[in-house]
Chain A
Amino acid sequence: GENVEQHPSTLSVQEGDSAVIKCTYSDSASNYFPWYKQELGKRPQLIIDIRSNVGEKKDQRIAVTLNKTAKHFSLHITETQPEDSAVYFCAAIKVSELTFGTGTRLTIIP
Chain B
Amino acid sequence: KAGVTQTPRYLIKTRGQQVTLSCSPISGHRSVSWYQQTPGQGLQFLFEYFSETQRNKGNFPGRFSGRQFSNSRSEMNVSTLELGDSALYLCASSLWQGGLEQFFGPGTRLTVL
Contacts and interface: CB of A to CB of B under 8 A. Distances in A.
Interface in B80-113: 90, 97-107
A97 B102 contact: no
A44 B99 CA distance: 15
A100 B38 CA distance: 12
Interface in A65-110: 89, 91, 93, 95-103
Contacts of B45: 97-100
A1 B59 CA distance: 10
Interface residues of B, number: 24
A61 interface: no
A44 B90 contact: yes
Interface in B28-47: 33, 35, 42-45
A1 B98 CA distance: 16
Interface residues of A, number: 22
B105 A43 contact: yes
B48 A44 contact: no
B14 interface: no
Given A32-B100, A97-B48, A103 B42 contact: yes
A13 to B, nearest CB: 23
A34 B104 contact: no
A56 to B, nearest CB: 18
B98 A96 contact: yes
B58 A97 contact: yes
Interface of A: 1, 32, 34, 36, 42-46, 49, 89, 91, 93, 95-103
Given A96-B97, A102-B42, 18 more contacts: A1-B59, A32-B98, A32-B99, A32-B100, A34-B101, A42-B106, A46-B102, A49-B101, A89-B42, A89-B43, A93-B100, A95-B56, A96-B55, A96-B56, A97-B45, A97-B48, A100-B45, A103-B43
